[in-house]
Structure formats: structure tokens, C-alpha cells
Structure 1
Amino acid sequence: MDLLRSIRAVSEASGTGVIDWAKAGEAAKASTDPGALDLTPAERRGYAADVQDARARLRAVAGVEFDVPDTIEVQNRHHWIDANLATFHNVMGPVEAATNARLPDLSRVVNTGSMAFTLGFLARNVLGQYDPLLLADDADADHGLYFVHPNVVAVAAELDVAYPRFRRWIAFHEVTHAAEFGAAPWLSGYLESRVERGVDELVAGGLDRTAFSELQTAMTAVEGYAELLMDRAFDEEYADLRRKLDARRGGGGPVRQIASRLLGLGLKRQQYERGATFFERVADERGVEAASVVWERPEYLPTSGEIDDPGAWIRRVNP
């Protein structure tokens, strides 16, 4: 980790865009220890076995057919930054194109520094990631499944839990997202359209509340359904893992707390809880396969009101 090199990279931001993406990536990696990636053959087999076991268990429990991505990577933190630079760039593209800063050079340095901080913070904290490649340049590109091995090992030690058990839990959680996107080929396009509409309206100086509401509700369903499948499919008790990880998210120093709030990580936890409550109610009344109907077509997504009133969704979709 070289903070001076990171600062220098940000100060050298240039070009015509709002963010110098190459320098943002360079600065993020300079300020972030990549972490060790010297996996033993047994560890590599462990990751592969966890993913395949999760796929088999989730298929059986949810009653949905899906495959895991061909791209399954065990990464260090720098690999994760490289893998996500393009995603961030694609999302920010419309904003960059429409921005006309009064002091473009100064603005570019500030924005590049902010993006470098965001990438570095996430790279030090992400454990696993299912990447549906939203807004990717290649619409036919295979989705990705990543595990940031140094973070998995470090957090398992910090929480005082067995690393293989913790790794398996992370694998199950990320494969639940592969199950959702695999069962709903329309889901990526649905989310992309809401992101694009919301960003386009922001660029025009307005706010598309409908697009953001639909995006928020869909992501609540995505996170809540994942929680339901974890509860029903993981092959051992994990309440202690959830409790310890939640306590860790609530701790940390002031910089970590501020960054978590700015990046909306607390909001994501609310999505888990609100969505999980919805799907637990549906599954308790009609079974997990009835809850899985949500992925058959966009019209079956719950509305924001139905998230808080599962009975209304059941009456509409599963009468």
C-alpha cells in the first residue's frame, strides 16, 4: 500500500472526462493492499465444491433451473478493482457526458479521488460478488462470480469462525443471486432500464421517482429472496455468522462508518430485512416454489406496497 503514490495518481488525473478512470484504478490499487492469493490445491477445490454444492441445493429447494457463470474467479483486492472499473464507468457514462464543470481540471481531480476512495473501500470489504454485468458493452458477455479471498480469510479470522465454513456461507449467498438472474433472463434488462431512465432524468435536471422506486423495490426482492434461499438451502445453522457479520458492519472507525453511509451499505441491509420478511411470509403460506414464481415475469415482482403486505401479492399472483 502506497498512499503517496495514490495521491500522486489522483493529482495526475487528466483527459476530457469528469473522471480519469485509469488514474482512479491506479490510485485505488495504490491505497489498497492486494492481499495474499497463494491458495493451496485444497482451497481451490473447496471454492469449486462450495459453488457446485450451492447450485445443487438451491435448485432442489427453490424448484428453479439455473447454471452458475462460466467465470468463477478467486481474486485478490486489486483483481476486484480491475473487474469492477468497467461497471462503474458504464453506470457513470451518461452523467459524464452531460456534465459541464466550471473548473474541469479541478473537478476531474476531485471526482477521480472520490472514485478511487470508493473502489478501494469496497475492495477491502467485499467478500463475494455475483456480477450480472449490468450496462455492459457486450450484451452477450457471461456473468461473473467473484470471491475476494484475502477478505474472506481476514473476516473469518476477525469473527473467530472457521474459514472453510465461512467461505461456504459466502458461496451459497452469491450463488443465490445466480439463481435469481438465471431463473429470470429478463431481470438484467429490467434493472438496466430503470438505472438508465433514472440517470437520464438526473442528467436532464429532473428526478424519475418511478424508475428509482421500481429499482429499489426490485433490489429489495432480489436481496430478500436470496435471504429466503439461504435460510432454506444452507446445509447447517448460520445464525452466529449473520449475527457476527451484522455486528462487524455496525462497528469500525468513523471513516468506515461515514463511507458505509455514503455508499448506501446500511440501506442494503434494510433491503435484506424487508425483502426477507416478505418472502418468508409467502414461503410459509405457499411454499418456496410459490415464492419463486416472482421470477417468471416482470409483472410478478411485488410492488412497494406488496413488499409490506405479502398477502396482497399472494392474492394477485398466487390466488
Structure 2
Amino acid sequence: MESNQQHLSAATASRLVNWDFAAATAAALVAPGPKMSRREIQAAVTDLRRLADESVTHVHRITGLDAAEDLRDSQVLIVDRASWAKANSQSFAALMNPMLQHLAQTRPEAVNATNTAVAGTLTGAELGAVLAFLASKVLGQYDPFAALAADNPSKTGGRLLLVAPNIISTERELNVEPRDFRLWVCLHEQTHRVQFAAAPWLRDHMLDQIRQLSNGLMDKAQGLPERINQLAKQLSAAAGTGKAVESSDGVPARQMDVLTLLQDPEDKARLSHITAVMSLLEGHANVVMDAVDSSIIPSVKTIRRRFNDRGANRGWLDKFFRRVMGLDAKMRQYADGSRFVRSVVDKAGMQGFNRVWERAENLPTEAEIHNPDLWIQRMGL
């Protein structure tokens, strides 16, 4: 009986988001990219494959991680925008379906077969629109969760996606040497691939943290109206006194959002941990891509300067979507993580820094990301 209920909840959960419709919507909405002949496209794909292979040697030399010598459990794919969106819809499904199944099991009254089909299509359309926007921005991505996708026949450890139209469009926009820019991008993305190879426990650790956080927030969603009502009463009572209203941990009411209202201390700690790990991964990859000198990438300094300046020239609509999608926060992760990695390497050497990949307990906290000396002391370096 219990297994039958689990089967029913799994079937219901799978209809909460129409993942195929999300991928189809993204493919229909996203522009194909710069106009190129078939010969130019084939040449670009060949070049990116060659530079992706070449970059692994540099990642190995810079990081000292021997895992770079054997990456057979993952794959490199050169994709267009629509293919990137489809791959991400598959990974989202693998990540979210267990959480949606948890919702269906714990709150069956909120998830019934009557409305899930319509809701799933609407949610799929919304996700497709988001993927369409991101598909035109992302240069590359290492997806450690690819093996979890139901329709991934290779069941590899992960897959590196290099989005050819975006790389070509950006190198033209920046007016930089194509070979140099492509190798620079490959260095960053291959570093992510090497990170997960060096720390084979990291994927499951991140997956566990994400699912625990998501399940916890879903369990608390039922009490959201009551929390909002309590906050409204506090604001009303404080209106005549001029006192500021804060949450129990000091978050001002004006800064609260739905996520803040749902989180308890354990959720906040888990989110802080995930943020710290993402800052570490992105910062480490940034440090590696900038560690090559002009003998490897002659125009590396020009590329970095123009790439950083590129953000100032974006239109207001693009900036708005980036803020909503959290891309601004991701850029801050790059900067925070880069400072952490550089500081640790300067004081403890690359070998000392590489202790971070040994086990989950060695991952830095968010406080340590902002104060690397705390991590160095904790590691006994």
C-alpha cells in the first residue's frame, strides 16, 4: 500500500512541472545567435574542442590536482543555445523531482491530479522563458548532476557544456582574439570539471544540502500566510511608534522576502553553506583562468579588462533581468571566492589550499570566505 502511494505521488510530482514544455518554450524564444556559415560553425566547434582539451593541461599545472589527468567519467559537449536550455531542463528535473515528490507525499491536498497538468504547463512555460534568457548569456557550464537525468544514457559523472554561439558573440563584442578568448573560457569551465573529479564526494554533498534546504522550505510553505500576517501586524503596531520591525535574527522588514519568511536557523545555515561552496568553486575557477601568462594567452589582460568593463554597457532591461535571475549575486561570488583563493594560496601555497578538496569538513564557511585567515587557522596551516 505504501509503495503504491509513493508511486502515485511520484507520478503526480512529475506533472507539477512540464519539463519538455520548458525546453520547447526556451528553444522557441531564444535567438539562434550570430549568423555563420556551416563551414564557420564546424571550424568553431572543432576549435573549441581542441582548446577544451588543451586547457586541461594548464589547469593541472596551475592547480596541482592530479584528478585533471583522468576525466573519463565526464564529457565535453559543444552546444547551441536551445541544446543548453534542454540540458538544463533535464538537470532541473533530476534535482527537483525528488523535492516535488516530497511535496506530493507530505501535502497531497495541495497537489492533486486535477490541477497539476495545467499548473505544470504554466510552470514549464515560465521556466522556459527563464532558460531562454539565460541561454543567450551563459558561455559555459559544468553540470555535475547530469548523471541524474533520466534520459541521460551515458550516466557519466557530469558534462561540460560550451555554448558556442555565446562565446563567439562575446568575443566579437569585446573585439578580442578568438583563440585567446576561447581558451580563457575553457580554463574556467574545465577547472569546475577538475574540482568535482578531485572531490568525488562533492556532488552528493551539494545534492544533499540543496534537497534538505528545498524540502525544509516546502514543509514551511503552509505556514507562510500566518508569518506574513504576523509581520503585517508588527508593521501596523510599529507604524505609530516609529520603531523599525526586524525578524528574530535582525533582518529589517524592508529587506524581507518570501525566502526570508520561510527560513529557520537551520535553513539559513544551510543556505550560507551552499553560498560559501559556490563562492569557492567560482572563485577558484576565476583564479585559474587568470593565472596563465602571456606565453599561453597573449591578450589575457586585455580580455579580463574588457570582460569586466562589459557590464557597465548593459541596458537597464538586461540589468534588471540579471538582478532578478541572481546573476549579480553570482558575480559577487566570483569576486568573494577569488579573494579567498588568492589569499590562501599566497599564505599557505597551492598544496595547502588543495586541502579544501579532501572532505566536506574542509569546505570554508561563509565567514571564512570573507576572512580567509579563519580557514587557514582551522586547517592548521
Q: TM-score by structure 1 length?
A: 0.86
**CA deviation map 1:133-188 (0-9, x unaligned):** 26814795331111111111111111111222211111111011112111111111
Alignment size in residue pairs: 305
Q: Secondary structure at the match of 2:38?
A: coil
Q: Distance in 2 between matches of 1:39 and 1:190?
A: 43
Segments of 4+ moved more than 6 angstroms: none
Of 93, 98, 101, which residue of structure 1 is paired with 2:97? 93
1:75 corresponding residue in structure 2: 79
Q: Secondary structure at the match of 2:66?
A: coil
Cα distance change of structure 1 residues 37 and 221 upon mapping to structure 2, 3 Å threshold = farther
- Could you say which structure has the higher helix fraction? 2
Answer whether contact 2:44 2:164 (CA < 8 A) is retained.
Answer: no
Q: Supply the AA of the counterpart residue of 2:142.
A: Y
Answer whether contact 1:101 1:107 (CA < 8 A) is retained.
Answer: no
1:32 corresponding residue in structure 2: 30
Of 172, 182, 195, which residue of structure 2 is paired with 1:180? 195
Q: Distance in 2 between matches of 1:203 and 1:187?
A: 24
* Greater C-alpha radius of gyration: 2
Q: Distance in 2 between matches of 1:147 and 1:135?
A: 18
Structure 1 range deviating more: 207-216 or 181-190: 207-216
Task: Confirm whether residue 217 of structure 1 aligns to residue 229 of structure 2.
Answer: no
Answer whether contact 2:201 2:359 (CA < 8 A) is retained.
Answer: yes
In structure 1, runs of 5+ residues without a counterpart are: 1-14
How far residue 85 of structure 1 moved from its aligned partner, in angstroms, is 1.3
2:363 corresponding residue in structure 1: 301
Give 1:10-159 correspondences, 5 Å limit: 17-35=15-33, 38=38, 42-66=43-67, 67-68=70-71, 70-97=74-101, 98=103, 100=110, 107-133=119-145, 136-137=148-149, 140-159=155-174
Q: Distance in 1 between matches of 2:50 and 2:121?
A: 44
Structure 1 range deviating more: 205-214 or 242-251: 242-251
Of 349, 356, 362, which residue of structure 2 is paired with 1:287? 349
The two structures, once aligned, show a CA RMSD in angstroms of 2.6
Q: Distance in 2 between matches of 1:105 and 1:116?
A: 16
Cα distance change of structure 1 residues 151 and 306 upon mapping to structure 2, 3 Å threshold = same
Q: Supply the AA of the counterpart residue of 1:220.
A: S
Identity percentage over the alignment?
Answer: 28
**CA deviation map 1:57-86 (0-9, x unaligned):** 111221111234552111111111221111
How far residue 42 of structure 1 moved from its aligned partner, in angstroms, is 4.8
Q: Supply the AA of the counterpart residue of 1:242.
A: R
Cα distance change of structure 1 residues 79 and 135 upon mapping to structure 2, 3 Å threshold = closer
**CA deviation map 1:217-238 (0-9, x unaligned):** 1111111111222232463352
Of 191, 199, 202, which residue of structure 1 is paired with 2:206? 191
Cα distance change of structure 1 residues 65 and 165 upon mapping to structure 2, 3 Å threshold = same
Q: Distance in 2 between matches of 1:217 and 1:245?
A: 24
